[in-house]
Amino acid sequence: MDLRPLRLRPGEDLRRALEAAVSARGLEAAFVVAGIGSLRPAVLRLAGAEQSLRLDEDCEMLTLSGSVGAAASHLHLSVACADGRVVGGHAGHGCIVRTTAEVLLAELPQWQFTREPDAGTGYAELVVRPRAPG
């Protein structure tokens, strides 16, 4: 496992930038260990919800963690709004970095993450496999 600190810049899509960073390194598996920064907007899918919540206001990113793979990611995010409300859920595409995002990635070069249908949950769930040599 290699740890890689990243700083994302204003205007970057948080999730797409992390997926691109992993892909650019030729990786298929990584975990976000920690993340802080600011977003506007923040896009979250709350627990059990089908639609995403879009917070079109300045938000402080309190926590970010989850898996990042070549095929799909699963990221959890909590943000604090200007009035002190804290909201958390699945980080969606469209979370735009406002001033900065500081993220620590754990790169897992020997592993491959995919998402495949799971009959037990009804969702595409994480499948972990050793990465083929090459």
- Mean pLDDT (the chain) is 95
State the pLDDT at residue 122. 93
Query: Got the DSSP string for 70-114?
Result: SS-EEEEEEEEETTS-EEEEEEPTT-BEEEEEEEEEEE-TTEEEE
**Mean pLDDT across 94-108:** 98
Question: What is the third-level CATH fold of 2-130?
Answer: 60s Ribosomal Protein L30; Chain: A; (3.30.1330)
Phi, psi for residue 24 in degrees, rounded to 5: -60, -25
State the pLDDT at residue 5. 98
CB contact at 8 A, 80 and 92: no
Which of 102, 107, 79, 81 shows the shortest CA–CA distance to 92? 79
Q: In the chain, where are the structural domains located? A: 2-130
- The pLDDT of residue 14 is above 90: yes
Banded pLDDT at 73 (limits 50, 70, 90): very high
Banded pLDDT at 70 (limits 50, 70, 90): confident
Phi, psi for residue 10 in degrees, rounded to 5: -55, 135
CB contact at 8 A, 15 and 77: no
